[in-house]
Structure 1
Amino acid sequence: MSSSFEDEADGPQSLWARRGFVLAALFVGLLVVAAVVLFTLPGSDADPVEVGQGRQTTGGAAPSPTPTATEPESSSCDLPAGDQTVPVVAPTETQWELVGEMVAPTAPELHGPAVSSPVRSCFARTPVGALYAAVNVAATTTLPNAERILTEDLGAEGAGRDVALENLPTEGSSAGPSSEAQVQVAGFSFLSYTEDETVIDLAMLAATREQVVTVHTPVTLRWEQGDWRLVFGPEGAPFPRLQAAPSLAGYVPWSGT
């Protein structure tokens, strides 16, 4: 079967189908042949809250974070740092907006993004705010010039981001989104959470003209400069552990469709 994503030589394509952002190179039956780079997630000064809804954790209800002596600061756009309870059900009454080719949640006065142009940014320092940020980051990959937006505007400081900055294409040369595949969020699972750093496993459905497959990727976010920012893998990839998922079992179902 031929590739369901365009090769770079054949025309524009989404970041999900490009080196460092690879969603799939070929479809074989119902499996995704993903380009996976394993790495150790950066640690946090505080012990993370282990949440029992993801594929990498054991079963059980998600505990609430341990209260801290001081209230976490609000976001740079003054969104309040509210409820610190990690969600085990989908956020209610979610509003969705189309960002490029992917829908993303929005609640600008509560969870974020309080800023939607030119870059979707400024989220609440809460678990739900982090969840909104993670999906909005994923949706940003379907925009033109997405590599530059992710690294320059949304990336957390660190060695991985430095590598990504060094490998950025020439200004204006980034490929636009591809019409060959549509990727939409389908569910989530908190792998860990503190008010300083969180890891959220996003499950997504990738639809092509031939079929629909399920993939998932842990998204690591760090609170930095008043907002949740994407932590890059050491080789400069924003989603270095993108893999196929056999099903949505273990994820909280959540989508805008």
Structure 2
Amino acid sequence: MLGVAGCTGEGQEAAPTARPESPAASPARADGCITDDGNQSIPSTAPRQVYWKRFKGVALPFSPVVGPLDVKGDIARCYQHTPRGALFAAVQISVRLDRSTEWQKIMKRQVVEGEGKAAYARVRTAGQVVPAAKAAQIAGFRIVSYTPQTAVVGTVSRDPARGGRTARTVTVKWEGDWKLAPTGEGSTGSEPERVDSLSGFVFWGGF
């Protein structure tokens, strides 16, 4: 995969709907995954020490602190149990699931059980992957809500397939590591909506 220079600009501070809580009472860590989960603050600036690599045409964020700390094949796992970890996991897992030919392996390990998982399998089997040249590239984020059990992450992307910028939300849940919670319609996130600017988002991207 190709390395891509990260952006370091700042955006407006997001207004999360829940205050950070201690992760102590939530499910234990997955085997072999150790991270420093002390920083439970909601990020209002772009995370530091981030580098970007392309996955099937899409630039994805990596951090030696936040994660993913374990990448084998198309599966990237082991994230901080923090708002930043939820952010990285939401972006990594949703993109990999939508673009990998090994999506069934990713789904088995990194998608929560439920109606959304079954719906995603049906939709993904019948769908087509957007060509790399038209793939959306992340340009910013905001944490919509966060608890140690569930996080809703908003992203805004440059979207050649739809034209201009689009925004959507992705939900992840903690089950020893962050896992994706697909929508009941079988999507990795909400339906993308056109936006005119990055207002309300932290400027962040690698392409």
TM-score class, shorter-chain normalisation, is 0.7 to 0.9
Unaligned 5+ segments in structure 1 are 1-51
Please give the TM-score of this superposition, normalised by the length of structure 2: 0.79
Counterpart of 1:100 in structure 2 is 56
Instruction: Return the offset for 1:149.
Output: 4.6
Q: How many residue pairs align between the two structures?
A: 193
- Are residues 1:125 and 2:87 paired? no
Instruction: Return the offset for 1:235.
Output: 2.2
In the alignment, the residues of structure 2 paired with residue 230 and residue 73 of structure 1 have an alpha-carbon distance, to the nearest angstrom, of: 17
Check the 8 A contact 2:97/2:107 in 1, yes or no.
no
- Structure with more of its chain in helix, by fraction: 2
In the alignment, the residues of structure 1 paired with residue 145 and residue 104 of structure 2 have an alpha-carbon distance, to the nearest angstrom, of: 28
Structure 1: which amino acid aligns with 2:45?
Answer: V
Unaligned 5+ segments in structure 2 are 1-12
Counterpart of 1:219 in structure 2 is 170
Counterpart of 1:111 in structure 2 is 66
**Any idea what the Cα deviations from partners look like across 1:37-61, whole Å, max 9, x if unmatched?**
xxxxxxxxxxxxxxx726xx7xxxx
- Are residues 1:236 and 2:186 paired? yes
Q: CA RMSD in A?
A: 2.9
Structure 1: which amino acid aligns with 2:91?
Answer: V
**Any idea what the Cα deviations from partners look like across 1:166-218, whole Å, max 9, x if unmatched?**
55539xxx75551441321100011100111100101111136xx95100111
| 1:164/1:71 CA distance change after superposition, 3 Å | closer
| 1:123/1:90 CA distance change after superposition, 3 Å | same
| 1:75/1:89 CA distance change after superposition, 3 Å | farther
Please give the TM-score of this superposition, normalised by the length of structure 1: 0.65
- Are residues 1:53 and 2:14 paired? yes
| 1:142/1:101 CA distance change after superposition, 3 Å | farther
Counterpart of 2:204 in structure 1 is 254
Check the 8 A contact 1:73/1:125 in 2, yes or no.
no
- Are residues 1:178 and 2:131 paired? yes
Instruction: Return the offset for 1:146.
Output: 5.9
**Max radius of gyration: which structure?**
1
Check the 8 A contact 2:170/2:190 in 1, yes or no.
no
Check the 8 A contact 1:72/1:125 in 2, yes or no.
no
In the alignment, the residues of structure 1 paired with residue 41 and residue 140 of structure 2 have an alpha-carbon distance, to the nearest angstrom, of: 18
Check the 8 A contact 1:187/1:254 in 2, yes or no.
yes
